[in-house]
Amino acid sequence: MSLVSEFSTADDDQTETNGLNIDLSLLWSQLKGKIWLPFMVAILCAALAFLMAKTFIQDSWKANTIIIRHQKNMSSQADIPYLYLQIDFNTIMQTILVRDHLLRVIEQLELSLTPQDLYDSIDISRGNRSDIINITATWQQPEMAVKVSNTVSAVFLESYSSVQNSAARKVNSYFLKELSTSREALITAQQAEANFRQKHNLVSFNEQMISNYHKIQTLEIKYIESQVSTSEKRAKLKATISKLATIPKEIPLETVVAGAALSRISELRETLQLLKLRYTSQNPKVMAMEQKIASFQTNADDKVLTSQTDTKIYGQNPLYLELELEKIHYEFDLYVSDQALADYRLAINNTKDSLLRLNGLRQDYQRHRDQMIEYRNLVSTLEGRVTDSKLALESNISDFEIIEDALPPKYPERSYRKLIAGAAGALGFTISTLVLLARVVFDPSVKTRNDIDPTRLIGILPDKDTVEDCHYSARFRVSSVSRATNK
């Protein structure tokens, strides 16, 4: 082994790498005339990349609109809690760039873009731990970037109010419809109540009921008084009838002197004429006078009072006649009292029937009244609901507000053209250098000294005459091994 190390040394300017022998001096001699090529390639690549970036990567401008969300310190009502919707902030941010909003922006600005292209040009971000939304539009023209950013913000605010108020708007529409229907029903109920009162001639149930109760009380008092009066009259009539039974009906009236009967009858007839002028023919006085004249006439005819003898004339007893007249008077008063009692009873019954009718009408009227009150309360409740929904609609409009409109940017955004050109130049330099090295290293036309004198690695055999045989043979074997290895 020592012999191998001793006799197999290489030159100082020759290097062995993985079995490949590279002569650095020869390599440098081949490269120094071509060292400018990688730099030229790098410059060309950088220039070409810069021109392509300049052509295909246009300047872009960013405009930013700032929107703030106000805190809503309104408590939800227990009756209609869905008027004030509480939407998460991140959810709201996700709704800004929905397809419908993008289509509306494209339509308003008359853009020849698809919603996806517009979506890629807009960025939505939230302020750091704040209720701020930044809507940033990136565009090739600064004025258009401002328009897109402001239009997206305006469309979002308009749409948010619509979304936020969708429930309140439906509730408001429903309550308005119900309010209109209830008002019509209330008017119908009021008209029905008025028609009912007019049909049955009702002014006030309480007053009419009180009036009827007073009327019944008065009639019953009069009925009792009439009953007492009738009882008294019936007792008097009974007493008069009893007296009539004990009194003679006729008694001697007078003694008529002969020759004076005819003159007496004439006087009585004159008196009768005077009575008829003052009373009717049914008057008891007239009837008594007629009876007296008839009695005188009968006595005159029977006894022929033409003689000079005195004659007694009998007639109706005046007391009996007076009692008879009282009897007739009591009977008439009793008849009138009975009629009055019947009238009072009829009036009492009619008043009671009127009370019963009023009670029945009062129930029907109360149904009309209750229905009218029910509709009135419903209308009042619905008016309150409509007011609440209107307040909700107005409050939801002011949830978001643009606090800073987008302004035209002064400078465009970084396009990284120089960075791209530098990267392209570095890449071209690296690739060209590697290619150049590979061409030089693996160029078969370039010969090293090892290619020209391969025996140099075998070594020189010593002179056989000057060395011992063992050393000569060992050197020879090493040289043989080296030759076999090189082959």
Residue 457: predicted pLDDT: 47
First-residue to last-residue Cα distance in the chain: 21
Assigned token pair, 452? 């020209």
383: in domain: no
Last-in-domain residue among 362, 390, 414: 362
CA angle 327, 332, 337 (to 5 degrees): 120
Q: Give yes or no for a contact between 189 and 368, defined as CB atoms under 8 angstroms apart.
A: yes
- Tell me, yes or no, whether 216 and 356 share the same domain: yes
Residue 463: predicted pLDDT: 66
**Residue ranges of the chain with pLDDT lower than 70?**
1-24, 26-27, 30, 72-86, 250-262, 299-317, 394-398, 415, 443-464, 467-487
- Tell me, yes or no, whether 228 and 336 share the same domain: yes
Euclidean distance between CA atoms 225 and 358, whole angstroms: 28
- Tell me, yes or no, whether 227 and 355 share the same domain: yes
Q: Give yes or no for a contact between 231 and 298, defined as CB atoms under 8 angstroms apart.
A: no
Residue in 398, 396, 374 with CA at minimum distance from that of residue 171: 396
- Tell me, yes or no, whether 354 and 460 share the same domain: no
Residue with tokens 């071209």: 428
- Tell me, yes or no, whether 216 and 352 share the same domain: yes
28: in domain: no
Euclidean distance between CA atoms 303 and 261, whole angstroms: 11
Residue 5: predicted pLDDT: 40
348: in domain: yes
- Tell me, yes or no, whether 348 and 454 share the same domain: no
Q: Give yes or no for a contact between 37 and 437, defined as CB atoms under 8 angstroms apart.
A: no
Last-in-domain residue among 322, 346, 362: 362
The parent domain of residue 232 ranges over 211-362
355: in domain: yes
205: in domain: no
- Tell me, yes or no, whether 485 and 357 share the same domain: no
The number of C-alpha atoms within 13 Å of 174 and in the hemisphere containing its C-beta is 11
Residue 306: predicted pLDDT: 47
- Tell me, yes or no, whether 452 and 358 share the same domain: no
Last-in-domain residue among 328, 344, 362: 362
140: in domain: no
398: in domain: no
Residue in 100, 124, 103, 101 with CA at minimum distance from that of residue 114: 103
Q: Give yes or no for a contact between 122 and 97, defined as CB atoms under 8 angstroms apart.
A: yes
Q: In angstroms, what CA-CA distances link 56 with 35, 50, 99, 110, 415?
A: 32, 10, 28, 24, 11
Residue 422: predicted pLDDT: 85
The number of C-alpha atoms within 13 Å of 446 and in the hemisphere containing its C-beta is 18
Residue type at 241 in one-letter notation: I
Q: Give yes or no for a contact between 118 and 105, defined as CB atoms under 8 angstroms apart.
A: yes
Residue 395: predicted pLDDT: 65
Contacts (Cβ under 8 Å, ≥6 apart) of 243: 323
SS3 of the chain: the string is CHHHHHHCCCCCCCEEECCEEECHHHHHHHHCCCCHHHHHHHHHHHHHHHHHHHHHCCCCEEEEEEEEECCCCCCCCCCCHHHCCCCCHHHHHHCCCCHHHHHHHHHHHCCCCCHHHHHHCEEEEECCCCCEEEEEEEECCHHHHHHHHHHHHHHHHHHHHHHHCHHHHHHHHHHHHHHHHHHHHHHHHHHHHHHHHHHCCCCCHHHHHHHHHHHHHHHHHHHHHHHHHHHHHHHHHHHHHHHHHHCCCEEEEEEECCCCHHHHHHHHHHHHHHHHHHCCCCCHHHHHHHHHHHHHHHHHHHHCCCCCCCEEEEEECHHHHHHHHHHHHHHHHHHHHHHHHHHHHHHHHHHHHHHHHHHHHHHHHHHHHHHHHHHHHHHHHHHHHHHHHHHHHHHHHCCEEEEECCCCCCCCCCCCHHHHHHHHHHHHHHHHHHHHHHHHHCCCCCCCHHHHCHHHHCCCCCCCCCCCHHHHHHHHHHHHHHHHHHC
- Tell me, yes or no, whether 452 and 351 share the same domain: no
Residue type at 116 in one-letter notation: Q
72: in domain: no
Assigned token pair, 443? 């160029």
The domain total for the chain is 2
Contacts (Cβ under 8 Å, ≥6 apart) of 183: 379
